[in-house]
Structure 1
């Protein structure tokens, strides 16, 4: 594989920088992401130029556009730290993660509330059963009931119309 000329390299670097600015401004193409793969595709260069190369003797040399890849990653990281996410997918992922966290917190809170109410219900039923048993015991101790039944109520006779 031949080496590229200085003119080609300068032209490629210019197109890479233009593509980098577009991606970091949020102009991500459909189906793309804000990453080196999309940067290379938008600039019309091969992605391998962004990575270090290993010579046959084992020594490592930087790729022709590796400094631009480092610059792209630095600028992207700075945007993320500032809270600006140029990739709509990454922004959506962050929003969904935050929503998921909020729902998990609500679920944990509801589980705690249910557990507290279940314990309260058990205590209340236990207290009611104990009070009922105490009332029955007091009735048994007091002897025969001193109450007598009232005679059943007679229905009233209606004379005339009810209207």
Structure 2
């Protein structure tokens, strides 16, 4: 690629700065993000112009618009640190990550509660089984002694022994 004139470079820098301002305000094109790729396409410059180049001898030289890429990243970082996210999708991703973390926390709490209920159920069933065995043992013991009489069972629909009124 050939070298560009100073006029073209100045026009490109103006276009990049204008696109940078639009993106940082949150005015994103459909399907675009707040990143260098979208900045380059909005400004009409090649994305590679934002990155360092190598000379033929292997030494590095800055890209023609690398300083603007650094400025863009710096401004974007400052906005994020201030709590403003110009990219609505990035804000949505952050909200979803927070919601996901809250749901995981609630799920862990519910799992702990469920484990406690299952433990309570195991203990209750164990106690009921032990009480049932004790009742059967006492019935057998009472039947073996022979001095305990059974009360007559009431017929269904009849009043219990004694007056309730």
Query: Structure 1 length as normaliser, TM-score?
Result: 0.89
| Residue matched to 2:119 | 119
**Unpaired runs of 5+ in structure 1?**
156-163
Secondary structure at 1:146 match in 2: coil
1:5-43 Cα deviation digits (max 9, x unpaired): 111111111111110010000001101000000001111
- How is 1:51-130 mapped onto 2 (pairs within 5 angstroms)? 51-130=51-130
1:22-61 pair list within 5 angstroms: 22-61=22-61
Which of residues 130, 136, 150 is equivalent to 1:147? Answer: 150
**TM-score, normalised relative to structure 2:** 0.88
Distance 1:9 1:140, change over 3 A: same
Aligned length: 155
Deviations 1:63-113 (A, max 9, x none): 010000001011111111111111111111111111111111111111111
- Structure 2 equivalent of residue 158 of structure 1: none
Gaps of 5+ in 2: 159-165
